[in-house]
Amino acid sequence: MGLAEKKCVPCRGGVSPFPEEEAQAFLEETPGWTIAGGAAKIERTFRFKDFASAMDFARKIGDLAELEGHHPDISVGWGYCTVSFHTHKIRGLHENDFVMAAKVNALAGE
């Protein structure tokens, strides 16, 4: 099963964040995403033809985040939407972050 088909499982803490090597392996399944913040988060910027399209995409991501119970940080401006994921409970990366990245890629038609 690919990451985009998985469901986010609530992280209750008590687990370690992914080491950078493991996070790098998950990036192979989430094209376009990069590790940032010293391996504490992943992020990607999507480009659009105008502000309205970027906002529409951000709203779709918000709806998806509510369904999955895992919420990103989103920055929107004219022609772009930057999305980043990390797991607050463990202050780092968890499989849920990569599941959501794959789902966001699917929303973008990738």
**Does 81 reside within a domain?**
yes
Domain that residue 55 falls in: 41-110
Residue-wise pLDDT tens digits, 64-110: 999 999 999 999 999 999 999 999 999 999 999 999 999 999 999 98
DSSP letters spanning the chain: --GGGS------S-SPPPPHHHHHHHHTTSTT-EEETTTTEEEEEEE-SSHHHHHHHHHHHHHHHHHHT---EEEEETTEEEEEE-BGGGTB--HHHHHHHHHHHHHTT-
How many domains is the chain built from? 1
**Does 24 reside within a domain?**
no
**CATH no. for residue 93?**
3.30.1360.20
Residue-wise pLDDT tens digits, 7-29: 999 888 788 999 888 999 999 99
